[in-house]
């Protein structure tokens, strides 16, 4: 029999295996990382409940590593070839052959959702592919490139400070998920090197967080849509789009087994809730008629401000309420054991979460948006409405280094990258008035590798043409 390339052979292979095998039941979903980037197979990998083994779709795995596959309909056997190595597996049988020698599988190949699923460790070791397993994240890593280290805390899909800065971008398993301003703010992903841009959904998305095999987000106001603020989740391949809340949420945090969000009843404030990751088990955490504006879950508590002023906290179940100040505070952040905010636009304050003591972090700086790192600040200095530049400084605001010199719309920080949304005006070749260019870009914290990921040019007076 003739071997055919995986791309063709596996398509036929998956179509012809219409037999229903006696397979064990699939359990926990699993992520697959191949050579440093997550793979999104057309049938999800899983941990088989009975054996505890990780199963992956043979088609997707074969395509990723350039193997060849042949399918025998009469014997329900797949023959896999990579270089000089030949493997035979039969659906429903624990007996396999590697280069003609018998090998016994702990659990047989099986069928699930029309795809042939195989124990990943058996295939990887037979083909000489390096394999590693992360039990905490349920991730299989295949190939010589290790899985990218997570830049967020376990169970979180973004940094809490980025969420306070609208979380227009996040990162997971070698991919960057982002709000594509060049395509009506729709949800996209690309590899960390900027290649392979893929649209996930037509939804205009913000508060983007990726964890547990799902992308969570809040809908943005866009055009004539009336569903802005609704909370959704979707698989990274664009499947299983699910509405979790029809209420208009302001901020959304995915933390552990819960989603925390506030409902924007008026002036960007409203009651505070939590719900399970599938949208069930909704619970109100705020007191009756209490309006919550900015809030941040941090170290077992939720710190928040209200439209009438003040800084408060409750535990993650809505109990043990504390009041720290009744003055107006702005631009909440949480890092390094402190809650950061400002009361005066020229002074950044911080409050210890252990003692509640307030002190000055940065003085005499006309700041607006900012991000607090372990030993640095990324801050926007608002010298005037149109003169707003972003600097990297130490934690006291000293040693400033210019990083973004366009007018800032928003900023996020992930790993070594500062991501930014900016706008600028440019002379128009077709209109009487200047064009406005909105851009999404990034620059390394050391100032290198500045690049624009996507942009959109529009004119506020489209009918005023030259």
pTM for this prediction = 0.86
Q: What is the pLDDT of residue 137?
A: 82
- Which of these, 258, 249, 257, lies nearest to 295 by C-alpha position? 249
CA distance 102 to 96: 6
Q: How far is CA 2 from the centre of its chain?
A: 43
Q: What is the pLDDT of residue 5?
A: 37
- Which of these, 107, 152, 109, 124, lies nearest to 33 by C-alpha position? 124
Q: What is the pLDDT of residue 430?
A: 81
Q: What is the pLDDT of residue 17?
A: 37
- Which of these, 285, 248, 284, 239, lies nearest to 269 by C-alpha position? 248
Q: What is the pLDDT of residue 26?
A: 64
Phi-psi region of 444 (alpha: psi -120 to 50; beta: other; left: phi over 0): beta
Helix axes 58-65, 120-127, angle to 10 degrees: 30
Q: What is the pLDDT of residue 267?
A: 63
pLDDT in tens, 79-105: 898 888 899 999 999 999 999 999 999
Q: What is the pLDDT of residue 25?
A: 55
DSSP code at position 207? E
Alpha helices in 198-292 (DSSP H): none
Helix or strand or coil: residue 74?
A: coil
Tokens 């972003």 -> residue: 390
Let me know if 280 is exposed, middle or buried by CB neighbors in 10 A (0-12, 13-18, 19+).
exposed
- Which of these, 216, 220, 224, lies nearest to 205 by C-alpha position? 220
**DSSP-derived pairing of the beta strands 26-34 and 37-39:** antiparallel
Task: Report residues of the chain scoring pLDDT below 70.
Answer: 1-27, 222-224, 266-268, 386, 466
CB of 59 closer than 8 Å to CB of 41: yes
DSSP code at position 179? E
| Two tokens, residue 291 | 């309006």
CA distance 387 to 461: 23
**At 332, phi and psi to the nearest 5?**
-65, 140
Q: Which domains does the chain have, with CATH numbers?
A: 4-142 (3.30.457.10), 160-406 (2.120.10.30)
Q: What is the pLDDT of residue 27?
A: 64
CB of 193 closer than 8 Å to CB of 55: no
DSSP code at position 129? -
* DSSP one-letter string for 232-295: EEE-TTS---EEEE-S-EEEEEEETTEEEEEE-SBTTBB-EEEEETTS-S-EE-SPTT--B-SE
Let me know if 135 is exposed, middle or buried by CB neighbors in 10 A (0-12, 13-18, 19+).
exposed
CA distance 108 to 119: 8
pLDDT in tens, 323-352: 999 999 999 999 999 999 999 878 999 999
Tokens 């799902």 -> residue: 214
CA angle 164, 170, 176 (to 5 degrees): 160
- Which of these, 218, 216, 224, lies nearest to 205 by C-alpha position? 218
């Amino acid at each position: 029999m003739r071997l055919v390339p995986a791309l063709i052979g596996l398509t036929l292979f998956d179509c012809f295996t219409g037999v229903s095998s006696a397979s064990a039941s699939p359990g926990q979903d699993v992520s697959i990382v191949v050579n440093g980037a997550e793979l999104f197979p057309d049938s999800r990998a899983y941990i088989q409940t009975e054996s505890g083994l990780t199963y992956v779709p043979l088609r997707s795995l074969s395509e990723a590593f350039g193997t060849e596959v042949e399918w025998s309909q009469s014997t329900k056997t797949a023959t896999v070839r990579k270089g000089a190595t030949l493997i035979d597996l039969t659906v429903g049988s624990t007996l396999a052959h590697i280069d003609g020698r018998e090998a016994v599988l702990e659990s047989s190949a099986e069928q699930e959702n029309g795809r042939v699923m195989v124990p990943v460790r058996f295939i990887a070791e037979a083909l000489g592919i390096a394999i590693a397993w992360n039990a905490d994240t349920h991730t299989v890593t295949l190939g010589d490139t290790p899985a990218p280290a997570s830049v967020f805390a376990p169970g979180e899909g973004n940094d809490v400070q980025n969420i306070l800065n609208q979380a227009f971008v996040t990162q997971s398993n070698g991919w960057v998920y982002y709000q594509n301003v060049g395509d009506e703010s729709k949800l996209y992903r690309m590899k960390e090197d900027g290649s392979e841009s893929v649209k996930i959904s037509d939804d205009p998305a913000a508060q983007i967080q990726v964890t547990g095999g799902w992308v969570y987000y809040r809908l943005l106001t866009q055009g004539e849509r009336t569903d802005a603020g609704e909370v959704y989740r979707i698989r990274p391949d664009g499947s299983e789009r699910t509405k979790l809340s029809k209420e208009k949420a302001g901020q959304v945090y995915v933390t552990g087994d819960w989603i925390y969000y506030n409902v924007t009843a008026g002036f960007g404030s409203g009651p505070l809730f939590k719900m399970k990751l599938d949208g069930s088990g909704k619970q109100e955490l705020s007191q009756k008629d209490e309006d919550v504006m900015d809030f941040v879950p941090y170290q077992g508590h939720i710190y928040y401000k209200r439209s009438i002023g003040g800084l408060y906290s409750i535990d993650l179940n809505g109990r043990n309420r504390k009041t720290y100040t009744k003055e107006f505070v702005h631009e909440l952040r949480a890092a390094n054991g402190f809650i950061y905010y400002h009361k005066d636009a020229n002074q950044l304050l911080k409050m210890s979460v252990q003692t509640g003591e307030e002190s000055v972090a940065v003085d005499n700086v006309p700041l607006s948006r900012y991000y607090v790192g372990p030993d640095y600040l990324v801050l926007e200095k608002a010298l005037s409405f149109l003169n707003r530049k972003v600097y990297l400084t130490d934690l006291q605001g000293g040693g400033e280094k210019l990083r973004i010199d366009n007018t800032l719309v928003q900023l996020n920080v992930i790993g070594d990258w500062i991501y930014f949304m900016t706008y600028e005006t440019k002379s128009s070749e077709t209109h009487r008035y200047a064009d406005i260019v909105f851009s999404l870009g990034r620059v390394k914290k050391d100032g290198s590798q500045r690049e624009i990921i996507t942009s959109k040019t529009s004119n506020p007076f489209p009918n005023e043409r030259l």
